[in-house]
Structures are given as C-alpha cells and as structure tokens.
Structure 1
C-alpha cells in the first residue's frame, strides 16, 4: 500500500464500512453518491438547507412564520385523538400557554412513546387549518431534554427510492467522523487571501453546519464550497498537466514524407487554403515531425475546412509509410468523409462500419491488416478487436465528444506510438478547453473559405406557421431544397421521432410526395435511402430529427426550418444551420418558436440571428446553459465535475490552471512537500491515473 493509500484509506474504503450500513443501504448510498467510496458520499453536497433557527412561541408564530415556513418550538402534549375510521390521521394537540397546534400523523408508531403532559421539541412546516395551526408529520419530535439533536441548519441531501433522510444523515455523520488529519495541499498565500477553511473543515461546514451566535454562516459556507470547488478543479488541471508531461516522455517516431501525395491532393482540391488552415497544418506538421506522439485538438466552426486539414495530415502519415484512420460517430458522417477523402486523396481509401458484412467485410479487414489499405474511414467499428492495423501512424477522431474515453483509448492503442488528431465542429468555450481538453494542444480554424455567403437567419412565432408554409411553397417552386428539423421533446428520442412523423404526415398533406423523412430510430438502410433521395433531388423537403446535425452535405439545400428552436442549445442550432449555405445560392434559416417562449429564450435566438461566429455563440451557450453536452443538446452544467459547478467553476478555473502550471514547472514529479500533499488530492478526486487521460486523446 502506498503512503497516499494508507493515509486516505478511511476515505477510500467502501460505503459498507460505515457502521450500521449494510449491503442494501450501501447500494442505495452508492447510487446517490455516484461511486462506491466513502469520499464519494462526502462529495455528495446537500441540495438544500432547512433553516430551523426560527424558535418562538406559537402565538408569535402566527405573525412571524408564513404558511409552509419552518417552525421550531417547545410544546406540551394536551391531547391525543385517534381516528374513528381507516385512512384518517392521528392528531396530537400541543400547546405552550400562548396558543395551540395540531400535529398530524398517518402512522400510529410515531405516537408509541407520546403521552399527555409530555414536553416536546418539535420542528417542521407550519400550516394553517381554518383558524388553527397544524404541523403535518413534523420533521423532528423529540423529548425536550433531547432538543439539542434538532440542528439549527439542516442539510437536505439527494435521495433515491428506499433511502430515507435519517439513514443519509447517519451515514454522513459517520463519514465525517472518518476524516483524517490531512496535510494542506493548497498554496498557503491563497488560503489566507480567500479565507478558506481546510479541506476537512469545509466538508464539516457544509454537511454538519453549526452556526455560532452572530456569525455570517452564509459567507462561511460559500468559502467552504469555493474551497472544495477549487480542490476539484486543481486536481483536474494537475492530472491533465501530468498527462502532457508524460506525453513528452512517450516514445514515438517522426512521420516525414516527401509531399508528393499532398501536392496531388491540393491539385485535386483546386482552392487555396485559408490562413487558418495553413497555420493548423504547420502546427500538425511540427507535431508529426517530433519524436513523440501528437495529441492535438482541431476545432473549427461549421464550414471552416477541417476535412482538408485532416486529409493533409493523414497523407503525411501515408507518405511516411504508415496508415491513417478516421473515426466518426455516425455512419452518415463516416460515409460523407469517405466520399470526400476518396475524391481528394491519391491513395485508396476503405470504409468500415457495422453495416459492412460478409465478403466485403472480410476483404476490408484483410486490407487493413496487410497494410494495403493506407487510409481507413469508419465508425466505432474501427476499434473492435478483430480490426488489426498493419501500422497505424495517425488516428483522426471526429466529433470526439460523442465517443467514450474507453472507445478512444481502444482506437489510439491499435498501434505503438499512434498520433492522435481530435476534431470537433462545435466551437469549444475556453472554460471547457481547460477542463475537458487541457492535456491537448489546440489548433483553431477561425476563418471560412472565401465565397461562402452568409446565411440569413430569421425568427418566426409558431402562430405564423401558415405564412411560413406559404414561403416554403414558393421556395420549392423555384427548385430549392428544404430541411425541416423537428423539436426536441421531453428528453425522449421516442417522442422526438413521434413529433417528426406527425410533422412529416402534415407536410405530405400540404406538399405531397416530395417530402421525405429521416430519424435515428429508422433502420439504417431506410434512413440512408431517405438521405440519398434528398441528396439526389428526388425529394425536395426532408423532415428530420437532429440525426442530420452532422454528416449531411446537400449543396442544393438552401433553407433550414427549425421547429421549436427555443428547445435547442445555441451551439446545436448553429450546427444545424450549417447544413445549408454550402452551395452558391443564398441560404436561409428560419427559427420557429413558441408564442409563449420566455423573453430570455427569444434573446438567445436573437443572438443566432445576429451572428454566425460559432465561438461567440458557444461562449454564450456556456454562459447561459452551462457546459453540458458539447453538441448543445439537453444537459447543462460543467460536465465531469461535482463540486465545481455553475459560475463558481468559471471564476476559479483560471486560478486553478495557473497554480497547476506553477506547481508542475517547479516540481514536475510532485516530490516536494506540497507535491506530496497534492498526490493525496489526486487520489481523493480519482485523478491519479493520468495515463488513462493520456491514452484517450
């Protein structure tokens, strides 16, 4: 056992090690805590705090406590009323000499130790019942001598079915009792400047608050939460910093070619690269020429030309005698890449996905294994065990946030010293760059190829749908093709599909057989046939869910209608808008919103109307919705973090990044006293295995 493991063993122990917590409760606690360790439970912060500091007479409560407010009082039992019929409640009448109150219970066992004349300490929600006062099922009802057991500030933790507040409170108290005396890993000057408590003190302040007379407890609690958030952010930044340092030590090989294949590809491309593409290629070339594996993120707005940059990087690997592979999250996108790269690259490309079967699959796998397939494009099928590369020199992963860490690891570990180029069309806010891609070097495509016309974006209330349909009819009569994206519905793909099918039926009645349908629950051959028909111009209007967000390239489609646009994230709306504007015609995006949409929702959509700058849009989306899924769909909050949430995370992140850089510059092996303490921090937040991050790209 390492020194860190020995010191932290009370916190890294399983939840079942807590006294009074058997296997069933341990399973429930694990579900709530999101992990099996005692420290995971301690990182489960309260969702709310009940203030029980209002303690007054019942007469005073009529004036001071609003209905539904919390009252704590000293009372005496006056009478006990048992129900005459089933399902009626038990009532205990109590008073304090100034007024009376009725305690209401539906289970007799709450009254087994209560007799007339008992003095009680009670606390719960005060309700009005006619002219009288009542308290249904008090949160606390104890003998007056035990009144100290009622907390002044009572944390409310998240629960799950079968887990009661009393069990959660008992487990949390036991977990707090196991907190060891840990060395301070934060910079002492920072601790003093921000008046932060220690790690253990911060957890006690939040989980077992004991406000002192006259103390500003709210300010103290905010400092405790900020301290814990900074701990989590610093652990994350240190982990990625260590991954970067390890990458520099990993054995690799320089991939240097003669440029012949790239020259031919540029001739086929027929355009001059943008300045941003030229810069990105220079950065990638420098990485590939270095004797260590590349780990680079290529982020570019919709239509910024990432595919050309990826193709040039892949051809460099091929020129150097290695293979290159590109993995995309959907077959639609993978097939689009295959078409584009086959036309651009002067070497054969092969395609592999789950839909490739039989002889074609066997021949493709053989070509990958013997090296005759120089460039391989596919879906997640590329990382399956039966796919053996002869010599994979470069792995390009597109829209990487749609793949899990394990999937990315399995592709990049297909060969020794594989270089990794990660691509995303979703511009990433600086906050997420630091927290989610901090171990990668970043290239940014912030220019669009010349000749791209701006997309006219407009907002329309759904009450004007008839006018919108009339406009679509005029556009179709001119030969234009139209995307119609249906709304997100209640976090359910099934309901999304139902909405799409209903809209498709409506539009077919309006426009006839020229309306197609594509959604994610169709058989892939059916969906692909619908997309092919639209691409060939056999259908003029395609009703779809967000399945068309990436990988659909129809230059003749110049109108995008997005129904209930207020339900989408700005980043996703920007992605969908990028499906048009790919041809020579002027393109338009119509954002249909509910007439009852809030002013905030309308302001968000107005930003999309005013700008096509994906980086500005992504920053605004993060500011208003949180990080969530980078596709901008239905999640919010900074992904991957439990304590560093909301605006607190963004404010502390820069300081955590700067502190991490400073530590690793002075003590890259974390061998000095503070470095040793920081090793404990990495273990607590399960960030000690930086090799896992390194391999995942």
Structure 2
C-alpha cells in the first residue's frame, strides 16, 4: 500500500524545514524526530508564563518575568571569568542583566544604552540586587507579539535548543494537511474532542499549565489516536491470524468427564469458565488465539490439559510447548497422571532425543499414536510431522510476542493456539501486548491452597534464619534458598551462589544442600533439580533459574536473599514455588538495611497480599510499563502522548472501536477506513500497513 499523497509534505527530510541543517537534523534523531510528522507529536512537557508585567517588583523572586526596560550603563568585566553587567530600569526598579563569556561589542549592539527593549527571563536576588542572568528573550518593543503569553517548553537533546524546536514545530504545523476524521464521530462528540489538526495546533500552543495535563481535551484526543492506531494494528494481526481457516474441533466431553470425575476436587468457577471459552473457540472454523492468564497456583495446568483433550476428542492431537527441558519434563510429570485417567497417550520430545528413540517418536506422531506431545522448541523442527495437530499450548515464560505467534501460524499447521502466562498482567499491559488475542483469566485459587506466610528479615539476622532452617530440615521439610541477582553478571551470580552453598553445607551438613545456577551444564542442572524433587537433598541453593514452573509439593520454605534487588513480579513468582503441599509454608524476604523508600514499599506490598493482579498493578505504578516486562524484548509500543498506565480506560475504548471498525470494514476501504489508513501512516504502524497490503 503506497503512502497517500496528501501526507508527502510530512514525510520529507527534516532539512526541508526552514532553519534545520544536516547537523540539527542529526541531533533531532535523539528526540525520535526523523520526519516533519514526528515534530507534530513532540509535545511540550511544561510551559513558562511570559505575560507582561509592569515591573520586576510585581513578582516574588526567583521567578520568570517579562518586562519592558530602558537600557542604562554597561559594565565590562575587569578580570577573566567575571560577568558582563548591563544596568536596566523598568517602570519601578533598577536591576542588572548579567552575561557570562559574552562579547562586549555584541552586547553593545544588542542592548544600546538609552533604548527600550523587552526582556524575559528568570530574576533572582544576589546581595540585595535583582539580577536576570542570560535573559531567554530580548526583543524590540514593536516585536513584543512574537513572544507567546505562555511559552511551551519542549524536551531537548544536545545540539537542539528551545528556539530551534519551536521554529521547526511552527514550520511543520504549517505543512499539516486537512485530513478526514478517523475517530468514530459519536465517540468524538461524546468526549467533546477537537479535530486532529486543531488538537495538534492546540497541544503546541498551551495557554496555561491546565493545557499540559493528560486529560486536556487536545492531548486526550491525540493519546486516543495513538491507542487507536496501535489497536487497529493488533486487530489486523488478529484478523490475519483468524482469516486462515482453522478447523472446527468439536468436543464430545467424554474424556474430560472421565478426568473430572476421577479428580479429588471440583474445578473452580474460573477454571470451568476458561475451559468453556476455549472449547467454544475451538469449535469454530476460525483459528483460536487465546491467552490464558492465571496467578501462581490458580490451576492453569488442568485447564490446559482439558483443552488438549478437546483436540483429542475431536480426533486430533495436541502439543504443549515449554521453554526449557526442565519445564517440559515437569509438564510431562504434571500431566502424566491426568493422561492416565483419560487413557490418552502422552509423550515427550526434546533436543535430547536422538537416533532410534527419536525416529520411533516421530513415527508414532505421524501415525497419530501419540495423542498429546510435550516438548521444547525441538517440536518446531522440519522433520516433526503430526498426524493431525489441532491445538498448541505455549507456556509463555519466554515472551512469545505477536511476531512469534504469527510465525507459529505460518508453519502451515493451522492450529488453535493457547498461550499460558503465569505473570498476572495489569489490564492496560494485557491490552497493549496481547490486544490481538482473546483473554481468559483464572482469578480464583483452587481450594486447599494455604496462604504462604511472608516475613521481612534484615540480613543481620542471617544466623537465626540458618538455625531455623536446620530445625525445619531435621523435621523433614525442604527449602529453596535464592541468591541475589548480581549486576547482570552470571559469573558474579555464580560466585554469590557458590559462597552461600559452601556456608550452608558447612552448617547443615554434606549431602543436604544442592545447588543450581545459570553457568552449570544442562545435565548437571537437571540432575540437581531431579535430586531435590525426589527429596535426596533438603535445601536447594539457586540463582533465579527456579523461578518458573518448578513444582515440589514438599518444599515449604523459601528464603530470598537481598530481596530488594528483585522485581515484585519476580518475588511473587518465587514465593509461588512454596505453598503447593499440605504443610504451612513460609517465605522469608531478607533485605540489606537501610531500605530505600520504594524498596520498603515493594517488600511490604508482597508481605501484605498474595493477589498477583494487585501486585502487578502496584509494580506497574512503581516501575512503569517498559521496566515491568523489559521494553527491549517486550514488543511493547512506545507512545509519545498516551500514558499506558494512567489511561487504561482510553485504551479499552480504542480496542473495542478498532475491533468494531475491522468487523464492519475489514480492508479499510470505507471513507472512515481510508481516513484510518492516514493515521496508520502518520503513527508508523508499518506492520498494520503491510497487513492491509497483504490482506
């Protein structure tokens, strides 16, 4: 799809703007500005009141003042490094203009004694004398109108000044074409939002601080435009995933009933609802793309298994993919019992399967004898052919972004996809990262899970903690001891884990303590984990490799050293490793005092609640979205005006509007659809544009 001609002026080089040379254009890149259109959304972050005063007397310094003065005597500096001073009088007061490193001849020309000028800048008092150091503006009285009453202040980088930005913005604004409206007219009228062009002009010409807040009408409209463009992109991705004919997999319910009847407990209402949503999606000929979001211990495994049974009941196969071999084996262990109840054949395929063993599994898969396969990425290899694959469950511990989801579809196996995540995601992030998917949430805990008692302990009390641990081990309990994260360096992580391992082994005895860390060969790691799972060792010292999915019901103690170095979500995940059995579990968060204010707030949130969604909201409020899931790999959109954390409601409206628009006009060919295409170009939604062209 080629760029609409009406937008050409906004896509020219920056150097085509008056006053912007190659050097400035290069500097602008540091602000994310590469084309004139980018200047339109480079909004001022604050403003300065430049309204005219009669005298500096009218303000309480330090303050910014704009005033007309008569220029008096110049005093050149007597020694190097001293300032140049110019005496001036306003209507009521004499004060000084002060310049450092200035050329006298230039200042004589700029400020001729006896003439009138308008000066604007910050006035401070030194030794009882009012001074304005380096005025921001010096104008002839007849040019006074050039100075706005409220001057917008823009973000800057080296090589770009306020003046340069303001001038470039003015030229870019002059190039703005009149574009047809892309927002739903009812929505726009209800919110009282201005047209796009008026909104951009108004956002660059605030008349007071009230125009700079996110809820100001012009800014809110522009934020909505960003959310809407992003959601249209996600909806197009979703439509292109669904356009591909899936297969209707109809559940008979026979296998599911067998399993549920044999379970010692009833599924929660949330589990039953999620299974129903999944089965309904699988029954349609469209391809399912659903996210199963559940907190630690909310019973995702059962839901995933029942979904896999839908595929088997419909005469097909299912696959469950895990990011690591340890987790794949664990899924296998977790599902084996359920598969036996259902009388379904389950098998494992990882990179370790070689030779005859592998050939046998591949043959069984191709013949349909293996009904459910658990595997790692090895499942993606060319020679792995299924007899009739209907459902892929992806255990999303590695960020499985939109691109990977589309790739899974592109393998030609038009399977339904269910992505499981154990990280509760606040609604705003779920909308931003997974807007192309439908979401099922498990927000109830199965009965019988006891809350984990969480306590904060300063590192100074290490000996007490180790002593308590000794008693617990003597009573037959098992514990995790998580070592601190050391500055992104695996070598140092290893050193800190090694030291703690030696210390605990010396105190608790040989053979009782095992260790896993990132530097170990996979086979050793697996052996240490397997030994702990089997109960051969009682204490497992680990770097965070145990964070996800490890299930040892007998482990009831979790010690996290230097807990303040971890993120909230991570601490919540780690704590979720205990409290899986019938024993009362404890989690000790050890911290180095003194704690920073945010450090203390984070640890207290964790101590006071086990609700992962509340913890995630709190984490988002404290750290911001980019940090929360690591923007680099999160595929999270970067918005210029919109604020994902504080404008969730706006994002939700944008999502439902985008989905409705594409339902009514899938290829954006209606007048409104054409208008939306302009928006997608303006906001760099290249992926959306590619999807329309392909579509």
What's the TM-score once normalised by structure 1's chain length? Answer: 0.80
Partner Cα distance (1:161, 1:205) in 2: 27
Aligned to 1:64: 60
CA contact (8 A) 2:350 2:377 kept: no
* C-alpha deviation, 1:439, in angstroms: 3.3
Q: Choose which of 579, 586, 589 in structure 2 pairs with 1:588.
A: 586
**Alpha-carbon separation, structure 1, partners of 2:647 and 2:358:** 50
Q: Which residue pairs with 1:155 in the alignment?
A: 152
**1:467-519: CA deviations, max 9, x gaps?**
44443343334333333345567xx523x974784476357436526555545
**CA distance in 2: counterparts of 1:637 and 1:47, whole angstroms:** 26
Q: CA 1:693 to 1:269, structure 2 compared with 1: closer, same or farther past 3 Å?
A: farther
SS of the residue aligned with 1:402? coil
Which residue number corresponds to residue 300 of structure 1? 294
CA separation of 1:116 and 1:248: change in aligned 2, threshold 3 A: closer
- The Cα of 1:579 is off from its aligned counterpart by 0.8
User: For 2:218, which of 207, 210, 224 is the aligned residue?
Assistant: 224
Specify whether residues 261 and 652 from structure 1 end up closer, same or farther in structure 2 by C-alpha distance, changes over 3 A only. Answer: closer
SS in 2 for 1:589: strand
Matches within 5 A, 1:165-184: 165-184=162-181
The equivalent residue for 2:390 is 393
Q: Which moved more, 1:584-593 or 1:598-607?
A: 598-607
The answer to whether the 8 Å contact 1:77/1:119 transfers is no
**CA shift digits 1:441-463 (9 cap, x unpaired):** 33232343443222222334556
Match of 1:555 in 2: 553
Distance 1:667 1:286 in 2: 25
Contact 2:427 2:648 in 1 (8 A): no
Structure 1 distance, partners of 2:442, 2:105, is 67
> 1:100: which partner in 2?
95
Per the alignment, residue 407 of structure 1 pairs with: 404
Task: After TM superposition, give the deviation of residue 415 of structure 1 in Å.
Answer: 1.8
Q: Distance in 2 between matches of 1:630 and 1:367?
A: 43
In structure 2, relative to structure 1, the CA distance for the partners of 1:414 and 1:635 (3 Å cut) is closer
Mark the CA change 1:456 to 1:634 in structure 2 (over 3 Å): closer, same or farther: farther
What displacement does 1:637 show? 14
Taking a change above 3 Å as real, the CA distance of residues 664 and 406 of structure 1, as seen in their structure-2 partners, is closer
Alpha carbons 1:352, 1:361 under 8 Å: kept: no
Match in the other structure for 1:577 = 575
Distance in structure 1 (CA, Å) of the matches to 2:137 and 2:387:
69
- Within a 5 Å distance, the mapping from 1:308-327 to structure 2 comes to 308-317=302-311, 324-327=318-321
| TM-score, structure 2 as length reference | 0.80
1:221–1:554 Cα change, 3 Å = closer
**Preserved contact between residue 628 and residue 635 of structure 1 (Cα < 8 Å):** no
Alpha carbons of 1:414 and 1:587: their partners in 2 closer, same or farther (altered >3 Å)?
same
Mapping 1:275-354, distance limit 5 Å? 275-317=269-311, 324-330=318-324, 332-341=326-335, 345=339, 346-347=344-345, 349-352=347-350
Deviates most, 361-370 or 294-303:
361-370
Whether the 8 Å contact between 2:17 and 2:172 is mirrored in structure 1 is: yes
Output the CA distance in 2 between the equivalents of 1:500 and 1:650: 41
Taking a change above 3 Å as real, the CA distance of residues 658 and 275 of structure 1, as seen in their structure-2 partners, is closer
**Inter-partner Cα distance in structure 2 for 1:564 and 1:44:** 40
CA distance in 2, matches of 1:578, 1:301: 9
Q: Quick check: 1:572–1:632 contact (8 Å CA) kept in 2?
A: no
1:467-616 to 2 correspondences below 5 Å: 467-486=464-483, 492-494=487-489, 498=492, 501-502=495-496, 505=499, 508-509=502-503, 512=506, 518-520=516-518, 528=526, 531-532=529-530, 534-537=532-535, 539-563=537-561, 565=563, 568-592=566-590, 596-597=594-595, 605-616=603-614
CA contact (8 A) 2:292 2:421 kept: yes
Cα deviation code 1:120-172 (max 9, x no counterpart)? 54444444444444455544455666554444434343344444444433433
C-alpha contact 1:71 1:125 (8 A) present in aligned 2 = yes
Does structure 2 retain, via aligned residues, the 8 Å contact 1:626–1:636?
A: no
What does the per-residue CA deviation read over 1:528-567, in whole Å, with 9 as the maximum and x for residues that have no partner? 5654554455554444444332132222321123345456
1:452 aligns with 2:449: yes
Corresponding residue for 1:10?
A: 9
Task: Give yes or no for the alignment of 1:250 onto 2:250.
Answer: no
| SS of structure 1 residue aligned to 2:454 | strand
1:79 maps to 2:74: yes
Structure 2 unaligned regions, length at least 5: none
Q: How far apart, CA to CA, are the structure 1 residues paired with 2:193 and 2:250?
A: 52
Equivalent residues of 1:383, 1:410 under 8 A apart: no
Deviation at 1:663, TM superposition (A): 5.0
Structure-2 separation of matches of 1:453 and 1:693:
48
CA contact (8 A) 1:625 1:636 kept: no
